[in-house]
Amino acid sequence: MLITIDTTSAVPLSEQVASSARRAMAEGSLRPGDRLPSARDVARSLGVNMHTVLRGYQTLRSEGLIDLRPGRGAVVTEAAAQSKAVLILKVRELADVASALGMTEDEVVQLVRGALRSPGQPVPHA
């Protein structure tokens, strides 16, 4: 199955839906122009509410990774080339690690800014 969830995880189910699709894009399983399974089919196969799946799809839409159109469903956009999906996945991982370390948003932003100013150089500690 393209989209998987872990019902024991503290991560909201809708975010798990979005994350599964992002991962498929990053790995190349989903490419621009591909259709995601219908929200109804995903909900049925995962045993969750269809609106949970739609919330995950809306997240992907807001990130520019999919286009949602009535009658056409969810389609992976050209902007969802592997690099963007990978970057979004990495940013989410960074946010999770930073949160686990107790870092503030400002500290994380400062680290990212430092990395952008000096690509390839060690990132100074916040």
For residues 64 and 93, state if they share a domain. no
Is 123 domain-assigned? no
* Whether the Cβ atoms of residue 53 and residue 14 lie closer than 8 Å to each other: yes
For residues 95 and 50, state if they share a domain. no
Is 103 domain-assigned? yes
For residues 30 and 73, state if they share a domain. yes
Q: What is the pLDDT of residues 11-20, one digit of tens each?
A: 999 999 999 9
Report, as an integer, the average pLDDT of 32-39. 93
pLDDT confidence tier of residue 90, bands split at 50, 70 and 90: confident
Cβ neighbour number for residue 113 with a 10 Å cutoff: 11
For residues 40 and 91, state if they share a domain. no
Report, as an integer, the average pLDDT of 85-110. 88
- Whether 112 shows a pLDDT value over 60: the answer reads yes
For residues 21 and 68, state if they share a domain. yes
Higher pLDDT pick, 109 / 86 = 109
Residues contacting residue 24 through CB under 8 Å, at least 6 positions apart: 2, 3, 30
pLDDT confidence tier of residue 74, bands split at 50, 70 and 90: very high
Domain range spanning residue 21? 13-80
How many domains does the structure of the chain reveal? 2
pLDDT value of residue 3? 92
- Whether 70 shows a pLDDT value over 70: the answer reads yes
For residues 47 and 96, state if they share a domain. no
For residues 61 and 100, state if they share a domain. no
